Amino acid sequence: MKKIVTLLTLTLLVCIAAANAYGQKEAREDLVSGLLDVYEDKEGVESITISSSLLAMMENGTGQDKQTKELISKIKDLRVLIITDAGVEKALLAELEPVLQNTYTQIMKVKKSAKERMMLYLRTSPEKSGKKQAGALLVTIAEDNSLTVMYLSGNVDTDLIDAVLSGKVNVMNGKINALE
């Protein structure tokens, strides 16, 4: 009996340690997503997350060619935060700034007016099999009375960025699909 209890205790400790280490690894690699988790259920924030499970449904949908399916399969997660509270907006931007400086590269800045600006950031994950892959695309769109933060994670390469920025990737009727 004593041996069984000892074995169980050791197994549980190993599992907890492994899960904790895995969780910390995930947190280190995806700080922005963790930050969005903190702010998604705050007052003055509207948050939408379309997960990969919904995207999986689209992968099996009919009427899509191979190229479209490949494009969609690159997307792991799509998150949109719309912040209308000025205090929350300021707090989020303050917390985002160091994260973006350390792990993201600003690739574009568009200023439409004094109060309307759009910034694009790209997070590059470590090189895999000799090919550099981007891990996430972050877009912040500041308007007169709101801030929109869009976060796209997955195998974010130039094809996917081009599709997103040209409006080819859309969300319709609970599905993410690429428009031809």
Footprint of other proteins (CB under 8 A): 3-4, 7-8, 11-12, 15-16, 19, 23, 40-54, 57, 78, 80, 82, 108, 110, 112, 118, 139, 141, 148, 150, 164-167, 169-175
The SS3 of residue 133 is: strand
CB of 132 to other proteins, least distance (A): 23
Is the alpha carbon torsion for 179, 76, 127, 29 positive or negative?
positive
Q: At closest approach, how far in Å is the CB of 10 from other proteins?
A: 8
Q: Give the DSSP H/E element, type plus range, for residue 151.
A: strand 147-156
Task: In angstroms, give the least distance from the CB of 18 to other proteins.
Answer: 9
Q: Which is nearer to other proteins, 127 or 180 (CB)?
A: 180
Residues contacting 139, CB < 8 A, separation 6+? 118, 119, 120, 121, 148, 149, 150, 151, 152
Q: Shortest Cβ distance from residue 22 to other proteins (Å)?
A: 9
- Shortest reach from residue 127's CB to other proteins, in Å: 28
In whole angstroms, how large is the CA radius of gyration of the chain? 20
| Least distance (Å) between residue 129 CB and other proteins | 27
CA angle 151, 69, 47 (to 5 degrees): 25
- Closer to other proteins at the Cβ: 8 or 86? 8
Residue 49 vs 155, nearer CB to other proteins: 49
User: Residue 163's Cα: distance from chain center in Å?
Assistant: 16
Q: How far apart are the first and last CA of the chain?
A: 65
**Complex with other proteins: residue 86 or 98, whichever CB lies closer:** 86
Judged by beta carbon, residue 16 or residue 86, the one nearer other proteins is: 16
β-pair partners for 147: 83, 142
Q: Which helix (H) or strand (E) holds 172?
A: strand 169-172
Residue whose CB is less far from other proteins, 1 or 127:
1
β-pairing, 117-128 vs 131-142, is: antiparallel
